[in-house]
Amino acid sequence: MTDPALYPCFLGPYGENDGLLEKLVVEFLRDHVFWRRNVHPEDPPAIPTSATLRPDFQAFEARLRRELHALSAALKRSVPFHSPRYLGHMVSDLALPGLVAQVLALPYNPNNVTEEAGPVTIDLEIRAGLQLAHMLGYGVDTSRADCAFGHLTSGGTVANYQALRLALALKAFPLALRAADFHDPALPEDDYAAFNLHPQAAIALLQRARDAVAALAPEERRQWQQRIESQRIEHLGQVEFFARHRQIAPPVVLAPLTAHYSWSKGMKLLGLGREQLLQVPERGMRMDAQALVAQLEQLQRERRSVLLAVAVLGTTEFGTIDPIHAVVAARERFSAQGLGFAVHVDAAWGGYLASLLRQQDGGLRPLAELRREFTTFPSETTHAAIAAIGQCDSVTVDPHKLGFLPYGAGAFICRDQRAMGLLSESADYVFAEEGVDDYFRRYRQLGRYIPEGSKSGAAAAAVYVTHRVMPLDAAHFGRMVAATIRSTERFIDHARHMSETTAARVHACVPFAPDSNLVCLALNPVGNRDVAVANAFVRRLYESLRIHHGRSVQEQEFYASMTSLHAQAVGAEDMADLLARLDLDPATLRAGHDGADRLFILRHTLMNPFLLDDQNGIDYIARYFDYLQRRCGQLLDEGTSP
Ligand SMILES: *Cc1c(COP(=O)(O)O)cnc(C)c1O
Using the mean position of ligand 1's atoms as its centre, give its distance from the Cα of residue 635 in Å.
34
pLDDT at 597: 86
- Classify burial at 191, counting beta carbons within 10 Å of its beta carbon; exposed 0-12, middle 13-18, buried 19 or more: middle
What's the whole-number mean pLDDT along residues 472-500? 96
Could you tell me which of 404, 413, 387 has the C-alpha nearest to residue 479?
Answer: 404
Q: Could you tell me the pLDDT band of residue 432, with boundaries at 50, 70 and 90? A: low
Return the ligand 1 atom nearest residue 158 CA.
Answer: 9
275 C-alpha to center of ligand 1: Å?
21
pLDDT of residue 642: 47
349 Cα nearest atom in ligand 1: 15
Ligand 1 midpoint to CA 157 (Å): 6
User: Does residue 433 contact residue 207 with C-beta atoms inside 8 Å?
Assistant: no
396-425 tens-digit pLDDT: 999 999 999 999 999 999 999 999 999 998
End-to-end CA distance of the chain: 40
Contacts of 637 (CB under 8 A, 6+ apart): none
Ligand 1 atom, smallest distance to 347 CA? 13
Q: What is the pTM of this model?
A: 0.96
For range 86-99, the mean pLDDT: 95
Rounded to the nearest whole angstrom, what is the distance from the C-alpha of residue 224 to the centroid of ligand 1? Answer: 40
Nearest CA to ligand 1 atom 15: 316
Measured by CA distance, the residue closest to atom 6 of ligand 1 is 156
Strand ordering across the sheet containing 561-566 = 506-509, 518-525, 598-605, 561-566
Separation of 156 CA from ligand 1 center, angstroms? 4
Task: Measure the CA–CA gap between 173 and 231, rounded to whole angstroms.
Answer: 9
Ligand 1 centre to CA of 436 (Å) is 34
Which residue among 260, 346, 563 is best mutated to probe the pocket of ligand 1, counting the most ligand atoms within 8 A of its Cβ? 260
The pLDDT score that the predictor gives to residue 590 is 78
Cα 449 to ligand 1 centre (Å): 21
CA of 262 to the centre of ligand 1 (A): 7
160 CA: nearest ligand 1 atom: 10
- Pocket residues for ligand 1 (CB within 6 Å)? 155-157, 160, 260, 262, 312, 316, 346, 348-349, 398, 410
More confident residue, 221 or 572: 221
Distance 345 CA to ligand 1 centre (A): 12
pLDDT in the model for residue 427: 67
Q: What's the gap in Å between 395 CA and the centre of ligand 1?
A: 12
Of 196-205, 271-280, 443-452, 610-619, minimum mean pLDDT range: 610-619
DSSP structure class, residue 585: -
Q: Are the C-beta atoms of residues 194 and 188 closer than 8 Å to each other?
A: yes
Residue 517 sits at the vertex; the CA angle it makes with 515 and 518, to the nearest 5 degrees, is 85
Mutation pick for ligand 1 pocket among 398, 516, 603 (CB with most ligand atoms within 8 Å): 398
- The reported pLDDT for the residue numbered 425 is 82
Residue 435 pLDDT class (50, 70, 90 cuts): low
What residues are paired with 280 via a beta bridge? 256
Q: 285: closest CA among 582, 515, 580, 606?
A: 515
Phi-psi region of 404 (alpha: psi -120 to 50; beta: other; left: phi over 0): left
Ligand 1 closest atom vs CA 410 = 7
pLDDT value at 436 more than 80: no
pLDDT at position 433, please? 57
Q: What average pLDDT is seen over the chain?
A: 94
Distance 155 CA to ligand 1 centre (A): 7
At residue 437, does pLDDT exceed 60?
no
More confident of the two residues 503 and 70: 70
Residue nearest to atom 2 of ligand 1 (CA): 348
Residue minimizing CA distance to atom 12 of ligand 1: 348
Nearest CA to ligand 1 atom 3: 156
Do 611 and 487 contact (CB within 8 A), yes or no? yes
**DSSP classification of residue 545:** T
Instruction: Compute, in degrees rounded to 10, the torsion defined by CA atoms 480, 486, 488, 492.
Output: 180
Question: What digits encode the pLDDT tens for the residues 520-529?
Answer: 999 999 999 9
Residues sharing a CB contact under 8 Å with residue 194, sequence separation 6 or more, in sequence order: 174, 175, 177, 178, 187, 188
User: What b/e string do you get for 126-154 counting C-beta neighbours within 10 Å, with b at 16 or more?
Assistant: bbbbbbbbbbbbbebebeeebbbbbbbbb
- Report d(CA 247, CA 500) in Å as an integer: 62
Average pLDDT over residues 214-229: 93
| C-alpha triplet 276, 280, 281: angle, nearest 5° | 140
Percentage of the chain modeled with pLDDT above 90? 88
User: In this predicted structure, what is the pLDDT of residue 594?
Assistant: 63
State the CB neighbour count (10 A cutoff) for residue 21.
18
Element (H, E) at 466: helix 457-469
Q: Which atom of ligand 1 is nearest to the CA of 156?
A: 5
What integer pLDDT is reported at residue 38 of this predicted model? 95
